[in-house]
Amino acid sequence: MEQLLSQVFVGLSIGSILLLVALGLTFTFGQMGVINMAHGEFIMAGAYTTYVVQQALGDGAVSTAFLLSLPVALVVAGTMGLALEVLLIRRLYDRPLDTLLVTWGVALVLQQAARDIFGAQNVEVKSPSWLNGGTELLGVGVAYNRLFIMGLAVVTTAGAWYVVSRMKQGRRMRAVMQNRQLAAASGIGTTSVDRRTFFLGSGLAGVAGVAITQLGSVGPTLGQSYIVDAFLVVIAGGLGKLRGAVIAAVVLGLCNSLIEYWTEASLAKVIVFVLIVAFLQVRPQGIVAQQTRGLA
Amino acid sequence: MTTDPTTAAGASEGAPAPTPAERLRRPLVGERSDAAARVSFVLVAFLLIVVAPASLSAFRLDLLAKYLVFAIVAVGIALAWGRGGMLVLGQGLFFGLGGYAMAMHLQLADTPDGQQPMFMSLTGATDLPGLWEPFRSPVFALGMVVLLPMAVAALLGLLIFRSRVRGPYFAILTQALAAAFVILLVGQQNYTGGTNGLTVMTFFGLDLADEGDKRTLYFVIVGILAAVFLLARQLVRSRYGRLLVAVRDGEDRVRFLGYSPTTVKVVAFSVAAGFAGIAGALFVPVVGIISPTSLGVVPSIEMLIWVAVGGRLSLVGAIAGAVLVNWAKTEFSEAVPTGWLYLQGALFILVVAFAPRGLAGAFDWLREQRERLRERRPSAKRTTAEEGA
C-alpha cells in the first residue's frame, strides 16, 4: 500500500512537470496551431537564466536568486519566442508541417549556442535551503523540491487559466483561435494577439525551465528530453484546452509511474505510447474536444 | 477553416488556362520527359558504378556507400512526405527495425558453434534469448528486414489515419514512437545489447575488414538503391501516385469521390517504412555497428533535412539531398567540428522556410524560365503546345 502510494506521488510529480512543460504548448500549439520544436530550448533558456541570475547574485542570495529567476526566465524565454514569431513563424502560418522543421532548425542553433556560451559540460544550479530535504505525508517520503514543482504547476496553471478566461487579452486569444476572420472583422488585432500568445506560451516554457533546475544539472540538450512528452500531453489533452492538458498530464504521469511499478521504465514508455494511440481511436480530438462542424 | 483551393488554382493572366484534361496529361512538378530522365539515370549509374570506385579511396568509397544507404531512406521519405504530405518524423524506428533484424542475424552468423554471440558477453546473460533463435535463418532475417517495418507502419498508420489524426499530430506521434523505441532498445539490453548496440564482422560471407569485399558491398548498395528508386518512381507515376498527391492536396475530396484515403496513406507510409528498413539493414555492414544513437528522435528528423534540401517533391532530389547533406556534414565536421550544428540549423530554417522545393525546385524554376522564354517566341509556340500533349 505504501509502495503504491509512493508510486502515486511519483506519478503526480511527473505529471506536474509534464504539465509545466506542456502548459506553454497549449498556447502556441493548441491555440495557434504552431508546432514549436524550439519550445524545449526555451525551457533550456529558462534553466540557464536561473544559473546566470544565481552567478550574478553570488552564493549569499541563493533563495532570492531562485525566486527572482522565475519572472526573469518568463521574460527571457518570452522574448525569444516573440522574436521567433516575428522573424519566422509569422511567414509560415499556413504551413504547419514546415513550421515544425524550421523551429527544429532554430532549436539546433540554440543548442549549439548554449554549448558555446556555457560549455558542453552541464552546470549545477544550487537549490535554496528550503527546497532541500523532505517530509512524510501519509507514510510516504516526500521531497520538498517535488512538492515545490507541484505547487508551481498549480499556480502557473491557475494563472494561465485566469489570463485565458477572465482577462480581456484571454478573451481575444480565444476569439482569434475560434474564428480568426470573424475576430479580425470585430476589430481584434490578430497579429498582436498572436504575438502576445506566443510571448506567453514561450515564457511559460522559461518558468518550467527554472523549476527543472531543481531536478538535476542543466545542459544544452535539457529541452530535448521533455519536448516529445510535452507534445503528447497536448495531443492527448485536446488542443488549446487547459483542462485537457491538466488531465492528460496527470493521467500520463500516473500511468508512467504505475506501469513502471509493474514492469520497468523502458517498457512503460512504450505501453504509455500504445495507450495514447489507442485512446486517440476513441477520441481523436483528445480528452477535451473543441466543438466543431468542420471536417478536420 | 480550410482555404478554398479553387481560388488558388486560378488561371494565370493572359495565357488561356489549360483545360483540366490538358493539365492532367502534363507532367507533375519534378518529373522530366522520359528521354532526359533515362539519359541522366544512365549517367548517374555510370558515375556510381565506374567512376566513383575507380577514383575514390577505400575510405571515401565507404563513406559514399553510407550516403547511398541514407539515400534509400530519403526516397521513402520523398514518397510519404513529398507526395503523400505525411511528415514522417520517426523513420529512425523503421531504419532501426531493419538494422537490428540484420545485425541479429549477422552476429549469430559471426558466432562459431557452441559460443555465445558477442553482445551477451557484455550483459552477462547465459542463454540466448528466444527472440533471437529465428534470426539464425538468413531467409527469416532478410524477410524481417522489410516486413517488420512495413507491418509496424501499416498497423500504426491504420490506427492513426483511420481516426483521421493527421498533419502535425501524425508527425508528433511518429516522433514519439521513435523516442519510445530507443528507450526500449536501451532498457532491454539483454535482448538488444543496450547502448552498445550490435557489432558485426561479416556480411553473408563478405569480410567487412577487407577492402575488396567492401567494394562488393558498395556495388550491392548501388544496385539496391537503383531498384528502390525505380520502384518508387513507378509508384509515383502510377494511378496510385496521382491518388496519393490528391489525398495530400484534398483528402476530403478524395474521400467524397469514393476512395479510402486511409488505405492510400497507409500504403505510402508502409512502403517508406520498408525502404527505411532496407536502408537500416545495409547500414549495418557498411558501418559495422548499429546502436540506438543512430535511430533516435534527432537522427530521424535529420533524415528530413536531406529530403528538404534535395527537394521533397522529387525522388532524384531526395537522393541528391541525402548524398550532398551527408557529404557536407562529413567535410564540414572535419574542418570546423562545432560548426555543423549551426549550418544544419541554418539549412533547416532557410531551405524549409524560403525554398520549400529544395534543389529540385531550383532546377524546375530554371526550366520554367527557359520554357517561358521559348513560349514568347511566336514560332516556337506550336511545338511547345505539342510537347505538352
Residues in chain A: 296
Q: What is the pLDDT of residues B29-85, one digit of tens each?
A: 445 556 777 777 888 888 888 888 888 888 888 899 999 999 999 999 999 999 998
Would you say residue A169 lies in a domain? Answer: yes
Surface of B (69-108) touching A: CB under 8 A: 85, 87, 89
Would you say residue A288 lies in a domain? Answer: no
Probe site for chain B from A32, A95, A100 (most B CB atoms < 10 A): A100
Q: Using the predicted structure, report yes or no on whether residue B2 has a pLDDT greater than 60.
A: no
Question: Which helix (H) or strand (E) element contains residue A136?
Answer: strand A134-137
Note the pLDDT of residue B7: 40
For residue B298, list chain A residues with Cβ-Cβ distance below 8 A.
224
For residue A291, list chain B residues with Cβ-Cβ distance below 8 A.
none
Alpha-carbon gap, residue A3 to A170, rounded angstroms: 42
DSSP E strand boundaries for B262-356: 289-290
- Mean per-residue pLDDT for A140-147? 81
On whether any CB of chain A is under 8 Å from the CB of B5, the answer is no
ipTM field: 0.83
Surface of A (88-117) touching B: CB under 8 A: 88, 91-92, 94-98, 100-102, 104-109, 111-112, 115-116
CB atoms < 10 A from the CB of B382, how many? 9
On whether any CB of chain A is under 8 Å from the CB of B356, the answer is yes
Surface of A (206-235) touching B: CB under 8 A: 224, 228-229, 231-232, 235
Q: What is the pLDDT of residues B75-126, one digit of tens each?
A: 999 999 999 989 898 999 999 999 999 998 998 888 877 677 777 766 666 7
Note the pLDDT of residue B57: 85
Note the pLDDT of residue B202: 83
Determine which of A126-135, B86-95, B152-161, B318-327 has the lowest per-residue pLDDT on average. Answer: A126-135
On whether any CB of chain A is under 8 Å from the CB of B243, the answer is no
Name residue A253's amino acid. Answer: G
User: What is the number of structural domains in chain A?
Assistant: 1
Would you say residue A179 lies in a domain? Answer: yes
State the cell numbers at B54: 575507380
Nearest beta carbon to residue B172 from set A101, A235, A281: A235
Q: What is the pLDDT of residues B348-388, one digit of tens each?
A: 888 888 888 888 888 888 888 888 887 776 655 455 444 44
A50: domain CATH number is 1.10.3470
Nearest-Cα distance to chain B for A112, in Å, is: 6
Note the pLDDT of residue B10: 40
Would you say residue A8 lies in a domain? Answer: yes
Would you say residue A287 lies in a domain? Answer: no
- Mean per-residue pLDDT for A250-269? 83
Alpha-carbon gap, residue A48 to A116, rounded angstroms: 13
Would you say residue A71 lies in a domain? Answer: yes
* pLDDT-derived band at B4, boundaries 50, 70, 90: very low
Partner-chain contact A265 B187, CB within 8 Å: yes
Would you say residue A296 lies in a domain? Answer: no
Instruction: Note down the domain range covering A75.
Output: 2-124+136-282
Nearest beta carbon to residue A231 from set B167, B172, B183: B172
Determine which of A228-232, A289-293, B65-69, B298-302 has the lowest per-residue pLDDT on average. Answer: A289-293
Helices then strands, counting H and E runs in chain A, come out as 11, 2
Q: What is the pLDDT of residues A30-74, one digit of tens each?
A: 677 788 889 999 999 999 999 998 888 877 777 888 888 899 999
The burial of A198, by beta-carbon neighbours within 10 Å (0-12 exposed, 13-18 middle, 19 or more buried), is given as: buried
The reported pTM is 0.84
Q: What is the pLDDT of residues B161-184, one digit of tens each?
A: 888 777 788 888 888 888 888 888
Partner-chain contact A104 B87, CB within 8 Å: no
Name residue B209's amino acid. Answer: A
Would you say residue A234 lies in a domain? Answer: yes
Nearest-Cα distance to chain B for A137, in Å, is: 32
Nearest beta carbon to residue A264 from set B187, B348, B349: B187
* Axis-axis angle for helices A242-262, A224-237 (nearest 10): 120
Nearest beta carbon to residue A98 from set B164, B184, B356: B356
